[in-house]
A and B are shown apart, each in its own frame.
Chain A
């Protein structure tokens, strides 16, 4: 009998040796004459357990991890390929509390299926949403998405259905669905994991969006640092075309929808939706003024839906299970689930998909198990490099769009980066300005010049030069950047700076020369 063994091909797992582990397991099985079949799945997202090796058994999959090459011989010795007990045994994967407590909708298949197996995909509910969408009028699809309460997961949280409705209502002979996969926030990796671990879901979501708004072409703009995701998508697109659900005749409906991929320009600001459009058009990735909205005048001037990977990848589930099922999760206007990404100085990093409304404390301390260093948490940055720093006093904040806003933060793409008490928050504030200085497209003055002036000014504060004067200047600059910048890049850079000054003021005054 052949054993089926799952070893993640996810980049995070590979970065700590998953490929090597897979090769050694294969070699060892051959040596021992044991018949195994290795499936390179996505990652379950429990990074502290990676490489996480799973074995198919009658009782379901059982897990071992984190597995190193040195463990392989003993695993065979323990007949792990038959589910045998071992020092690294984690029991049934589905029973691991870290995973079982989550509510996975968007990530339902990630880590479970073979990413490029159509059979696997359909066995796990794939294409149900698309088939249902094909039986519906455009208007009905848009209404379903609107009613589900799905909001843009890229950071802005704009209701997806409303955006779709604008594109549907805009007259145009050619429309586009653009998927923003230029995931550039520090501490985020959900888009990448989904594209590597369950690419069909994204393609299906885009196809449904295409049906809904009358678009025939989709473009996925993939971050240049994500070669594995890019390859995974291209392979998935080829397979989807072979199976006839992408191309000139989607599932025999006579409707056309096809998708192509573009590698990102290698700049953070290319993830800003209008800069992304410029980049896809082959130009420098600089930000466009809005209006006109991309929904009306988007890629190549055509009406365009731009959604994040997670937004589009959630759509098949909404269509499959209905708007009601999705919107029953969450709190207030933040309905459904959010794919949180735990990173930074954290003991148990990875993906936590749960309904909105979980507390920050629960994410950092229950799921994350505190800092990796073991020192006390001092600050948490939520929503990427332009997100606010929250102090430990804010740990009880409910993780939803509105509550975070009220707490002076923002959810962004759901990245959570933890810092312990050794952090210098003036340095972190300076980093925010430096990041902006490196990544600014250079179009608008507040961002182009302000970011460099901001870093210089914080440097002076850190050196103790005219601290009160420079703090005043820095706050003035933050106002000009917030109110005056063309896009969120310059507009949000002051958020980490101001929050650092507000909550961790002592770090700015430390070196003041009296």
Chain B
């Protein structure tokens, strides 16, 4: 493959539906009205010289190379800024135009280096040749002595090559929306400036839009100098967040020179962030382990072994464990960082080769409540919209998400939409950037206390119901009316009023009322949410509350509306789609359904257990209880990312075989016996599915550094365990997914290559996919309202732990930092910091930048303090990007009642000044029957939360049947002192007993 040069039509496409006919150089052209002459010409194959125009940016008209002549009009207008009009006759070439263009280029070249560092990249020299410039007669003042700005680790700004076309400034404004760049001075002295300071000290977020936009060598990736100009491109998908940006990986030989966002990329449309654009160096970092290794004990040193040896050792040990401790004593965890194909084979191996359903995925700890909540209400676990939809919204309700840090490319799209007048409501304990940023101010910021999401969403719904703002037409037509009636009766209860809840939420009632009115009063209101919704003890309830709100106001089923989870990882959506949950087969079909099992049993030629397997926390509890012995973990660092780390570490130490498949010897590998080297996304062949259900191709840009693809390793392990699995390529795995999963039935690599990407469902009815879901009816038929009582979390601020800790991530780092910590991104964030409100800091004598001891009931650590008003008094905040900071030493075992998604967002803590910096993190050893305690707690939580007005015991019994392993149910029934259980649980158990075979 050669270097992929994307066509540049000079100006953005017109949105007009009308067409006009014009004549360009004698050629008749029919194009949409309002198209620029430049674009119309380009579409007709007529190329007009240009330097300041590019089709990602609005026309600017500064270079004056694109001038044309129009019959009947005076002068020589610029073709980029002049729209076509019916019957217009345009000449793009004449002697006069030649003279202007040559004259302009002569001026340009009189202040431009004769040889550019960017070489062929510099459009200037090419354009000089194009317009026929022969000599530069001027000699005078130049800017050729200006110094370079090398401060950014990834790109250089060389003002001597700058032609002041403003493309970088406009890209920063119009694409990224950060306004970090400007032009300083005027006239001849006009120069591009990162607002009067160096790039690294400026507001620049290193998204790379300016570098991409620059037509010369003024803004250039440093790799272009160190490696050279690229010679070929491979289209692939970024492996960081759930936005799923399409990139051109530009290569020189086998070396990656740069990642350039692809304009046709469905999710990003040519934009990128600092991580995807620049932070890919980890893939070739010297820390990478590329050979398999084993050891008998975790205190032994690692031994490098052959693939065969490692697989054989792992398989033999797993079989022995099952022989000794039972078939359910082992399990596997799939990764949201891996491809759909890799995930599919992991769950297939567990179900077919392990012979149980003990498979879970890291989505457990992020978006499992989304799966549960949206399935219950809409019928499927997925965001309802494509990203483009947000541009049609009149109001955006953003809950528990910080897109400018975590989903930067979507954030840019959102920012541009907000700047055009869309109103924003933010529900977040923190003052996130979007609350107030250049040219954007949220209409309402409901700064709630962590843990009170459900109270706020209920209060909003209460106002909508009480003030006659329900869209009854939509509800009557599209929703289950019984469920609606129950919900309406519930939500109108005075206890759900904003006034009644104000004391809990700390949000003034009048603010809630105003926000509710705004959300309900516009034609199109859209909800976007993140882990601030899901990672709570009522995460699932909150997701259902959000779905209720969207249904009650009719904001479902068209562009500009919807319920949109912002997925944290590149393939959270996909790993969930692929049947990674212990109770579900691919396509969100319950394991107990015999028809579903039959499809797979025929395809896989095996028998599948009908009982739900263990969730990740169940595995940990069971391991500590001595029942669970072997775990295969693909691409997840549970020993850093999961809550209550002491507990996780104890569980891992309790196991006899821990297999880690990863790029690096991560924290979890410290507890592992087998290390299987993984592949980076640059080596993978497969697909990722992003937050808008968009299936994107991931193509290998370089050979696997381990000699094997990752799915091959899983297949080898499965085969060694006695269940033969092998595929010739990843496309075959997708064919198997399509053959077994109705929502994927129309998907194939061939079609993906043809269409670029596909949003599922893709089937006979929607052969090219589905940008917006639930258009005429919900996936489950009628939309179902769920009653969502607010049950405060047990994690409360106390005298001992008076503050609430909430956690999140920042722009330059990603999750546990395994990748970004191994890039130059550490220049922006080299340690986790604890954000503290001034009043809390003053009270304790804590100074900005000093060490602080942070403690909760489960652990303690030491972090550096930052005093800020981004958090309110009573709330502290940190990130979890660095293992040494141990943020998850602090977080607790509490979790969502329905899905066990950990309550990362609320931990009662205290802080105190510390004279010392970070030291060895003290871990505690879990005492007692941890598993039984968890079972009691989970059961009581379900009883407190399950949405049922009458006969809640039936709902509780049903829930337990759906999601619990038989073993857990058995322990609950037989071993628990009933005085510890809520009466509803006891009644549910009585029901269960009737079902059980004696």
Chain A residues with CB under 8 Å of chain B are 267, 269, 284, 286, 289-291, 436-453, 456-457, 469, 473, 476-477, 479-480, 483-486
Contact = CB atoms under 8 A, between A and B. Distances in A.
B188 A291 contact: no
A30 to B, nearest CB: 52
Nearest to B191: A442
Contact of B103 (A439, A452, A456, A484): A484
A437 B190 CA distance: 11
A483 B100 contact: yes
Contact of B83 (A291, A442, A448, A479): A291
Contacts of B108: 445, 449
A444 B77 CA distance: 13
A448 B164 contact: yes
B81 A291 contact: yes
B150 interface: no
Contact of B187 (A289, A291, A437, A486): A437
A442 B141 contact: no
Contacts of A286: 183
Contact of A453 (B62, B76, B138, B183): B138
11 contacts: A439-B187, A441-B187, A444-B61, A445-B64, A448-B188, A450-B107, A469-B137, A477-B107, A480-B104, A483-B76, A486-B64
A32 to B, nearest CB: 56
A456 B187 contact: no
Interface in B56-77: 59-64, 67, 75-76
Contact of A289 (B60, B140, B186): B60
Nearest to B138: A453
Contact of B188 (A290, A442, A457): A442
A451 B110 CA distance: 13
A437 B188 contact: yes
Task: Sort A-B residue pairs by CB-CB distance and give the 3 closest, nearest first.
Answer: A442-B190, A480-B103, A289-B81
Given A443-B166, A477-B103, 18 more contacts: A269-B186, A286-B183, A290-B81, A441-B187, A442-B190, A445-B63, A445-B104, A446-B103, A449-B108, A449-B111, A451-B187, A452-B141, A453-B140, A456-B138, A473-B137, A479-B103, A480-B104, A484-B100
B182 interface: yes
Nearest to B186: A442
B104 A442 contact: no
A440 B188 contact: yes
A448 B182 CA distance: 16
B436 interface: no
B82 interface: yes
Contacts of A485: 64
Secondary structure dominating the interface of A:
helix
Interface in B686-741: none
B519 to A, nearest CB: 23
Nearest to B163: A445
Contacts of B182: 284
Nearest to A486: B61
Contacts of A445: 62-64, 104, 107-108, 163
B99 to A, nearest CB: 6
Contact of B186 (A440, A449, A453, A479): A440
Contacts of B166: 443
Contacts of B59: 289
A395 to B, nearest CB: 29
A436 B187 CA distance: 8
B489 interface: no
Contact of B100 (A289, A438, A443, A479): A479
A448 B187 contact: yes
A284 B192 CA distance: 13
Contacts of A267: 186
B488 to A, nearest CB: 36
B190 A480 contact: no
B776 interface: no
Contacts of B100: 479-480, 483-484
Interface in B718-767: none
Interface string B150-192: 0000000000000110100000000000000011011111100
Interface string B78-107: 100111000000000000100110011001
Nearest to B104: A445
Given A442-B164, A479-B100, A452 B140 contact: yes
A457 B103 CA distance: 14
Contact of A456 (B63, B140, B185, B190): B140
B207 to A, nearest CB: 22
A194 B597 CA distance: 89
B307 to A, nearest CB: 61
A457 B67 contact: no
A476 B82 contact: no
Contacts of A480: 99-100, 103-104, 107
B164 A473 contact: no
B67 A483 contact: yes
Contacts of A291: 81-83
B105 to A, nearest CB: 9
A438 B189 CA distance: 9
A453 B63 CA distance: 16
Contacts of B64: 444-446, 484-486
A438 B110 CA distance: 19
A444 B78 CA distance: 11
Interface string B127-146: 00000000001101100000
A453 B141 CA distance: 8
A437 B140 CA distance: 14
Contact of B183 (A436, A442, A452): A442
Nearest to B137: A473
Given A284-B182, A289-B81, A453 B110 contact: yes
A423 to B, nearest CB: 25
Nearest to B96: A483
A470 to B, nearest CB: 9
Contacts of A448: 164, 187-188, 190
Contact of B141 (A441, A456, A477, A486): A456
Contacts of A289: 59-61, 78, 81
A484 B164 contact: no
A449 B82 contact: no
A453 B107 contact: yes
Contact of A476 (B61, B103, B190): B103
Contacts of B67: 483-484
B850 to A, nearest CB: 40
A357 B189 CA distance: 43
Contacts of B183: 284, 286, 442
Interface in B959-979: none
Interface string B182-224: 1101111110000000000000000000000000000000000
Identify which of A269, A437, A483 gathers the most chain B CB atoms within 10 Å of its CB. Answer: A483
Nearest to A455: B140
A457 B104 CA distance: 16
A444 B62 contact: yes
A442 B76 contact: no
A441 B185 CA distance: 8
A476 B96 CA distance: 11
B728 to A, nearest CB: 56
B187 A442 contact: yes
A444 B75 CA distance: 16
A36 B325 CA distance: 116
B60 to A, nearest CB: 7
Nearest to B60: A289
Contacts of A477: 103, 107
Identify which of A291, A441, A450 gathers the most chain B CB atoms within 10 Å of its CB. Answer: A450
A290 B67 CA distance: 13
A289 B52 CA distance: 13
B766 to A, nearest CB: 38
B62 A486 contact: yes
A440 B81 CA distance: 20
A477 B105 CA distance: 11
A443 B192 CA distance: 12
A269 B62 CA distance: 15
